[in-house]
Each structure stands twice: as C-alpha cells, then as structure tokens.
C-alpha cells in the first residue's frame, strides 16, 4: 500500500518563499528536514516567517524512499518565485541533472535567490556551474567523486556545511539540519534558531565537523616494501618514529623512503603516523575507560596537549567532546 505525502504550503505569512524540488526517488529524510524547518506553522515567530512549497521537476507519479508517493504544490515554475531553493538530496550521484533544472537554478541565483543543498544535492548545484571556484560540502562518502567530476570545486569533506556567495552546501543527511538552522539564524537571529532547535530536540549548533564521522579508510596495497614498516609503526605507536628510524626499519635511505611512502599513501610518513595515532585515540576514547592522559600516552602523543592539538586539527573536536559523543 502506498501513501501520499502532501505538504500544504504555508501561505499565511509574507515571509521568504522556500521551495524544495521534488523528483522521482526523492530522499525522504532530506526533504523532511526542509519541510519541517520551513514548512511547519510557527505562529510564535510572527507574521514574517517562511512560506514553503514543493515543486515537481518531472511528471509523476513521483516516488520517495520508504514506499511513499508524493504530490507537489506545483511544477518546476515555482523555482522562479523562490527566495531560497533547497535541493534535498538527489536520485544518485550517477544520474545526470536535467538541463531544465540546472538552468532554473542558475537563473534563480542570478536574480538574487539563495541555493542550498543537503548531502548528494551538491551534485545538482555542481551541475549549474555555480560551485566552480567555490568551496562546497557534501557527504564524506561522495567527496572524492564530486572532486573527480567537478575539479573546479574546492570540496571540503570535513565540515558540516559551507556558505559561499548565496550558495549553501551541507554534508550528509542530518547535517542538513545544521545548515537549515544556520539559515534561520541568518534570517531571524539566534533566538529564532534556538527556538526551532529546541522544538527539534537538538542543539542549535553542533561542535566539530563531519570529519569526526568519517570511517577510517582502508589502506591501499603498499606492497611488502612498506607493509612491514607500517605494521611495526602501528604495533608501537608510542615509539619515537623519526624518519631515520623508519628508513632503518625498512632497509632503505630516508630520501627513498619519503618518496616511496608519499607515492604509495599520498602522505608523508609523519602525517600517516599522526593519522594512525589519532585513529587509535578515537578507538580508545570510544571503547575504553582510560583517562584522556592515558589515551594520549597509549596512542603515542605523549601529552594531552599534543593529543588535543592533533585531534582538534583533524576532527574539529576536543578528545573529551569526542568521548561524550561516541564513547560507550
């Protein structure tokens, strides 16, 4: 049995018109974020609150994830009236963006409208060309693909959202809430954003960035030449792994090791070792009751200050904040 989801546009206010394009294969959660924040009646906000409408960009019936069929408030022409357009995900990164949609989005931006994307919706904004030469965010799983397809975009896989000249992009799924609250904060102030966040039962602003959620990558096959060295370093992260010591352990010169290591991993030996130490600290903070001081020592940082510095630089969070979020 299918269900029909119909969002009644909030036309009772003279506020900014927010339009969310609707497409076959609609990302239900991402669309619901926009509908909840901009489409829900909020009389406590006064008469200037947002209006919200959905716009079908293709003929129906349109399906959404979860067995739903969706009817919209209007067609693609609604984009021509929007003050803010929220691209709530996209069908798939491999599905081309229709020229009609890309063209409407470009024209909307040119007349002064704002464009926002949630998760894979960044691929739609990328198709307009408006992200070229600008910084943008998307889900960390799509970051490399977005870079490969649109090399003119400065893709940042570590942040929750990015604002660049009236173009807003956010990371995976729930990061769309962070971006939408940022837009509310920009339009109506901190108190309004806090009020909406409380109704959503979530913080008005999350600390850190997307980097804290990225899975530890599976290393490429580096061959026997480096595999033994990397295994030794992982087994004794607290050792003073100077370049000279690494070279001796791999029976090569420091210069040759540096070249081979960088070719194989895309990182210097020192950067790779720091990443491994951060990953070990993450594991210990998640799964153990060790003090932060003990975690710093066991992961090879030597001091809490060094642990905090590298943790903050790579994950955007302090170790204790990371444990509070992910610890068992």
Q: Which one of 3.30.830.10, 3.40.50.880, 3.20.20.210, 3.20.20.70 gives the CATH number of domain 3-210?
A: 3.40.50.880
Of residues 125 and 326, which shows the higher confidence score? Answer: 125
Confidence of residue 46 (pLDDT cuts 50, 70, 90): confident
Of residues 18 and 200, which shows the higher confidence score? Answer: 18
pLDDT digits (tens, 9 = 90+) for 28-38: 999 999 999 99
Pick the range with the lowest mean pLDDT from 2-16, 82-96, 147-161, 300-314. Answer: 2-16
Confidence of residue 13 (pLDDT cuts 50, 70, 90): low
Q: What is the mean pLDDT of the chain?
A: 86
Pairing of strands 51-56, 17-22: parallel
Task: Report pLDDT for 224.
Answer: 53
3-state SS, one letter per residue, for the chain? CCEEECCCCCCCCCCCEEEEEECCCECHHHHHHHHHHHHCCCHHHCCCCCEEEEEECCCCCEEECCCEEECCCEEHHHHHHCCEEEEECCCCCCCCCCHHHHHHHHHHHHCCCEEEEEHHHHHHHHHCCCCCCCEECCCCCCHHHHHHHCCCCEECCCCCEEEECCEEEECCCCHHHHHHHHHHHHHHCHHHHHHHHHHHCCCCCCCCCHHHHCCCCCCCCCHHHHHHHHHHHHHCCCCCCCHHHHHHHCCCCHHHHHHHHHHHHCCCHHHHHHHHHHHHHHHHHHHCCCCHHHHHHHCCCCCHHHHHHHHHHHHCCCHHHHHHHHCC
Structure tokens at 2: 């299918």
308 has pLDDT over 50: yes
CA gap 4, 54 in Å, rounded: 14
pLDDT digits (tens, 9 = 90+) for 278-299: 989 988 998 888 999 999 999 9
Task: Report pLDDT for 215.
Answer: 54
pTM above the 0.75 mark? no
Tell me if 35 sits within 8 A of 1, measured CB to CB.
no
Q: How many residues does the chain have?
A: 328
58 has pLDDT over 80: yes
Tell me if 39 sits within 8 A of 56, measured CB to CB.
no
Task: Report pLDDT for 63.
Answer: 94
Of residues 210 and 78, which shows the higher confidence score? Answer: 78
CA gap 248, 273 in Å, rounded: 16
Task: Report pLDDT for 315.
Answer: 81
231 has pLDDT over 90: no
Confidence of residue 225 (pLDDT cuts 50, 70, 90): low
**Percent over 90 (pLDDT), the chain:** 54
220 has pLDDT over 50: no
Residue ranges covered by each domain of the chain: 3-210, 223-326
6 has pLDDT over 50: no
179 has pLDDT over 60: yes
Task: Report pLDDT for 246.
Answer: 92
Half-sphere exposure of 185 (CA within 13 A, CB side): 13
pLDDT digits (tens, 9 = 90+) for 101-140: 999 999 999 999 999 999 999 999 999 999 999 999 999 8
Phi, psi of 213, deg, nearest 5: -100, -10
213 has pLDDT over 70: no
pLDDT digits (tens, 9 = 90+) for 256-276: 888 888 877 777 899 889 988
Task: Report pLDDT for 208.
Answer: 56
CA gap 171, 208 in Å, rounded: 13
CA gap 257, 72 in Å, rounded: 60
Please check whether the domain covering 223-326 is classified as CATH 1.10.10.60. Answer: yes
201 has pLDDT over 80: no
List Cβ neighbours of 142 (8 Å cut-off, separation of 6 or more): 93, 119, 120, 122, 123
Task: Report pLDDT for 221.
Answer: 42
List Cβ neighbours of 17 (8 Å cut-off, separation of 6 or more): 50, 51, 52, 53, 81, 82, 83, 84
Q: Which of 325, 290, 295 is nearest to 310 (CA)?
A: 295
């Amino acid at each position: 049995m299918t269900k029909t989801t119909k969002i009644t546009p909030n036309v009772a206010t003279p506020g900014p018109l927010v339009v969310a394009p609707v497409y076959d294969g609609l990302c239900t959660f991402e669309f619901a974020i926009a509908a909840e924040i901009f489409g829900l009646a909020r009389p406590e906000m006064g008469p200037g609150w947002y209006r919200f409408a959905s716009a079908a960009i293709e003929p129906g019936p349109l399906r959404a994830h979860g067995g739903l069929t969706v009817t919209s408030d209007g067609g693609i022409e609604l984009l021509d009236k929007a003050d803010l357009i929220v691209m709530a995900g996209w069908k798939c990164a491999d599905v081309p963006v229709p020229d009609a949609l890309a063209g409407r989005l470009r024209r909307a931006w040119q007349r002064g409208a704002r464009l926002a994307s949630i998760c894979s919706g960044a691929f739609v904004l990328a198709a307009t060309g408006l992200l070229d030469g600008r910084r943008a965010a998307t889900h960390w799983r799509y970051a490399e693909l977005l870079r490969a397809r649109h090399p003119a975009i400065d893709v940042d896989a570590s942040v929750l959202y990015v604002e660049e000249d009236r173009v807003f992009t956010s990371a995976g799924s729930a990061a769309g809430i962070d971006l939408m609250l940022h837009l509310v904060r920009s339009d109506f102030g901190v108190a309004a954003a806090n009020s909406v966040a409380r109704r959503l039962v979530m913080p008005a602003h999350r600390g850190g960035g997307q980097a804290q959620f990225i899975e530890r990558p599976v290393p490429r096959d580096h061959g026997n030449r480096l595999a033994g060295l990397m295994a030794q370093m992982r087994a004794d992260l607290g050792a003073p792994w100077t370049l000279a010591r690494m070279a001796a352990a791999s029976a090569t010169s420091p210069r040759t090791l540096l070249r081979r290591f960088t070719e194989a991993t895309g990182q210097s030996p020192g950067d790779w070792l720091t990443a491994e130490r951060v990953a070990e600290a993450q594991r210990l903070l998640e799964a153990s009751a060790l003090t932060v001081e003990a975690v710093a020592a066991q992961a090879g940082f030597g001091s809490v200050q060094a642990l905090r510095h590298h943790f903050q630089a790579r994950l955007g969070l302090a170790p204790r904040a990371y444990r509070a979020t992910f610890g068992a």
